[in-house]
A = this chain, B = another copy of it.
Amino acid sequence: MQTYWPASSSTTPRYAGPVSFFRLPTVSAPDQADIALIGLPYDGGTTNRAGTRHGPRALREASMMVRPFHHVTKTSPYTRHRVADFGDCPIDPIDIQNSLKLITGHYASFAAAGTTPLTAGGDHLITLPILRALAKNGPLGLIQFDAHSDTNDSYFGGHKYTHGTWLRRAVEEGLVDPHRCVQIGIRGTRYAPDGTDFAETSGITALYIEDVYRLGLPAVIARIRDITAGLPAYLTFDVDGIDPAFTPGTGTPEVGGYTVFEAQQLVRGLSGLPLVGADVVEVSPPFDPSGNTALVGATMMFEILCLLSVGRR
């Protein structure tokens, strides 16, 4: 079997040589890997501060700090699967609907090849067209790390496709089964008394940050496992779920989130789940003076990559 291994930081220092996710080879045909790392530099669904179009480059650059083996499991996804960087997904910076089509088309080829995609966004709208490509065999479960429910109906006089409405669309389109959807870290002021109304009436489980701390991390992990029921699910990790002291470089920060260590524990607790894909979204480099948001994003991508690898038969 063709395998891939990151360029060695003992030979080429991390500041030298080509930049790719985790220093892995860059390939292009979907069947050249089992797990595909894909950049998605699109922020046309953003309703406030832009900049996540620059996310994939910052995540690749920060991923140079990530080495092949996980320090807890002492295993590497690269020994089990072929993992490679597939470059950036084509997008249309001017036209949202065309971008959605381009994205779905691109991911359909990975779905067809049986390759699991792990995406670096981009704003959160991108999860919708990815789900359209992946949910070909019926609705998926969803594990969403996020400060926001993203279930508003529309913005600015009826616009239905934004980073704050994508999940409502995904439910309406039958891409996810709301009873197998769980959100972790919801918080922040909202526009209506019950801003997670749709989420809750549709059957989505929203674990507020207060729930996370009240239940404790093991119980949260158990809830996520219960809700997703061992069925195929997609994991989406919005870096604004984390407290903005750790991840200030994001479009809509909400103070009072979990720490990165807590996020790591939660993600690790999901090992073994049958994930069909995942993304890390909403890293906005222009608002990230210290670069820590990108570093957190890249490290969480690796944690999630380990999940995808273990969960993939």
List A residues at the B interface (Cβ < 8 Å): 8-19, 26, 39, 41, 43-44, 46-51, 53-54, 56-57, 61, 65-72, 74-76, 87-88, 90-96, 98, 154-157, 159, 161-162, 186-195, 208-210, 213, 243-246, 248-249, 252-257, 259-261, 264, 286-292, 295-296, 299, 302
Taken together, the copies of this chain in the complex come to 6
A189-B243 in contact given A13-B93, A157-B11, A255-B295 (Cβ < 8 Å): no
**Which of the residues B56, B93, B193 comes within 8 Å of A76, measured between beta carbons?**
B193
- Where chain A touches its partner, the secondary structure class is loop
Can you list 6 A-B contacts (CB < 8 A)? A11-B156, A16-B53, A67-B188, A69-B195, A93-B156, A255-B295
**Which of the residues B69, B72, B188, B245 comes within 8 Å of A245, measured between beta carbons?**
B245
Q: Determine how close the nearest CB of chain B comes to the CB of A155; give it in whole angstroms.
A: 6
Given A13-B41, A16-B39, A290-B290, output 6 extra A-B contacts at Cβ < 8 Å.
A13-B53, A47-B93, A69-B192, A243-B260, A246-B255, A255-B292
- Give Cα A209–Cα B299 distance, bound, in whole angstroms: 16
Q: Is the CB of A260 within 8 A of B256?
A: yes
* Closest Cβ neighbor of A152 among chain B residues: B10
A71-B195 in contact given A51-B51, A90-B12, A94-B159 (Cβ < 8 Å): yes
